Amino acid sequence: MDFESLKQECLACRKCGLCETRQNVVFGMGVSNAEVMFIGEGPGQNEDEQGLPFVGRSGKLLDQYLEAVDLFRDKNIFIANIVKCRPPKNRDPLPEEWAACMPWLQEQFELIRPKIVVCLGRIAAQRLIRSDLSVTKEHGQFFEKDGVLYMATLHPAALLRNPNNKPLAFADFIALREKIQEICDHTY
């Protein structure tokens, strides 16, 4: 399956109950040959309304960090979430919702084939890296799994709530930049 076909199938998905309350499926955003992917937990209100990942205030903050290290949604990265539809009132997704939605992300991984995956926040990090990972203690570290490097950093929404942690997140993006220069091609 090609990337556009995957997107069209995903946009019509009704595999779990979240399809009843969503406004839009948030498939993801970026380039399909990205070597770096960013993965969050799931859409919030703004994302649900616009059908795009990481918009609103936390999205703007994320974009500032990205641009500071020469990463751009329309040029060299792909941003997605583990769960593609917004859980009502931003509750945590239920186990059956995770299970129903993960195959979409797995297909995105298989088509994009990233070299580096950055997990934005605890939920994504614990789903994709290690179930007991502490983002507070282990952010900015790289973990190799099946030939792909994974790193966790603080979720932009958490940085808006606690701006004192912004330097920690920025240091993660600097470490990411160094890793990209080490292992990715010249488009970065």
Name which of 18 and 180 has its Cβ closer to ligand SF4. 18
DSSP one-letter code for 164: G
One residue of 14, 57, 75, 145 binding ligand SF4 per CB under 6 A: 14
Read off φ and ψ for residue 76, nearest 5 degrees.
Answer: -150, 15
One residue of 7, 13, 82, 129 binding ligand SF4 per CB under 6 A: 13
Q: Which one-letter amino acid corresponds to residue 46?
A: N
Tokens at 154, concatenated: 């603080």
Compute the least distance from the CB of residue 104 to ligand SF4, in Å: 6
Chain centroid to Cα 5, Å, comes to 21
Name which of 9 and 70 has its Cβ closer to ligand SF4. 9
Binding string, 15-34, against ligand SF4, x = CB under 6 A? xx-xx-----x---------
Identify residues 97-126 at the interface with ligand SF4 (CB under 6 A): 97, 100-101, 104
CA nearest neighbour of 115 among 176, 33, 35:
35
Compute the least distance from the CB of residue 97 to ligand SF4, in Å: 6
Tokens at 95, concatenated: 């186990």
CA nearest neighbour of 68 among 174, 187, 178:
174
Q: Which one-letter amino acid corresponds to residue 188?
A: Y
Instruction: Indicate whether 135 belongs to the interface with ligand SF4 (CB under 6 A).
Output: no
Report the C-alpha gap between 53 and 143 in whole angstroms: 24
Identify residues 62-91 at the interface with ligand SF4 (CB under 6 A): 83-85
Give the interface with ligand SF4 as residue ranges (CB under 6 A): 10, 13-16, 18-19, 25, 83-85, 97, 100-101, 104
